[in-house]
Amino acid sequence: MSLPTSRLLRTVQLLTLPAGAAALAVEGAARRAAGQDAEVVRTRLRARNAARTIRVLGGLKGGALKAGQLLSTVDALMPHDPEATWQDALVTLQAGNPSLPFAEVEPVLRAELGPGWRALFSSFNERAVAAASLGQVHRAVWSDGRTVAVKVQYPGVREALIGDVRTLSLVSRAAALVARGLAVPPLMRELRDRLVEELDYAHEARTQTRFATAFGDDPDIVVPSVVRASSRVLVTEWLDGVPLSAVARTADQAERDRVAGLYQRFLVSGPERAGLLHTDPHPGNFLRLTDGRLGVLDFGSSLEMPDGMPATFGRLIGALLGDDPGEVLRRLREGGFVRPGVQVEVEKLVDYMSPFTEPARHDVFRFSRAWLQREFGRVNDPRHPDFGVALKLDLPAEHLFTHRVWLGMVGVLGQLEAELPVRPVLRRWLPGFDGH
């Protein structure tokens, strides 16, 4: 199966998701009206809907699959799901997508590494071990005997990704008609620039090397070394381990807490230690290695932060924890979240932001899916009295990926049901956070 690159075809396939969901809703109503057990009907239709989502997003890859993987960081926000159908589907989107036949990606290896590329390896498994949004991974043995991961970019994925961003831009502009004041053009430019940057594996190799150097003496966190890189092929040392989604399902509380602490520390300390923020926090990119350490993968999405995390972000979080509405509003204006002249009911805003700020109130906080569902269900309910306050906020483009990481981290910690220190970690690694 080839990667579809036509923008029209990709858009049509994406539209089959809401259309299919609507059709299943009609079918479900008819089955219940005919006397079938309501819960059995819901369970079966939910499974069919999840399976179609996996099939469509996994087949499209590119930006469509990346959007699905972003959902995997906040699976607690999916509808009530006692059989964990959607959780299983999102795990599949992280690590169980269909790969392209080797014959379709071999020309990329030949073009990037030369016609004699096989001589670089002692052995090469043509069956992919993982398929991501932009490329697939093969296990191989380098000529010096090291086991390596070979990431090969899908042919045609650049065109597919750019088309997906354009489609998303149109959808976002339509959303801006509802949420007036939303700065869509700069947000979409930032998203496009960061996603296109991910297509350059040589850039990713340089980023990964910086992280590997910065964390090289860390006893608990491992970044694999780069062996060779070109614009569309990346060879790195192999890591054996299980993703955080599996840790969340199988490990005991103590182990989940330990791994969650390493995950949190890596994400918040990266800007100070490496001058970079790892901006793809979904659980498939983090492994508990066989020796217990945390392995980190996929550095295509990273943001330059040579001076560490922006102090405006830390000061805003700190202010939201205080009891001075004037200080909160000042920090919001300073960070570009509220435009001059726009008035905001600060007390409502503080309540609205609680899913992001509540953990930072505590030296030790217990994350959970139930807590995340409750908080986001409350603030995203249009009937909630604080709902309208969000429409008065702007998201500066430079903070787009900072907030993506923050939301993703909270979502993954909720999956892990982790209890761990929060405020001391933020006080150490988040400039401007004063521990209110």
Active site residues: 280
Residue 61: strand, helix, or coil: coil
DSSP codes of every residue in 362-387: -SEEE--HHHHHHHHHHHT-TTSTTG
Q: Which two tokens stand for residue 314?
A: 């830390």
Comparing CA positions, the residue from 347, 365, 377, 374 lying closest to residue 409 is 365
Q: Which two tokens stand for residue 236?
A: 């790195």
Taking CA atoms, 173 is separated from 167, 169, 178, 391, 399, in Å, by 10, 6, 9, 14, 19
Q: Going along 268-369, which residue ranges are E strands?
A: 276-278, 286-289, 294-296, 302-304, 364-366
Sign of the four-CA dihedral 254, 257, 260, 264: negative
DSSP state of 280: -
Q: Which two tokens stand for residue 374?
A: 């409750």
C-alpha radius of gyration, the chain, whole number: 22
The Cβ-side half-sphere exposure at 306, using a 13 Å CA radius, reads: 0
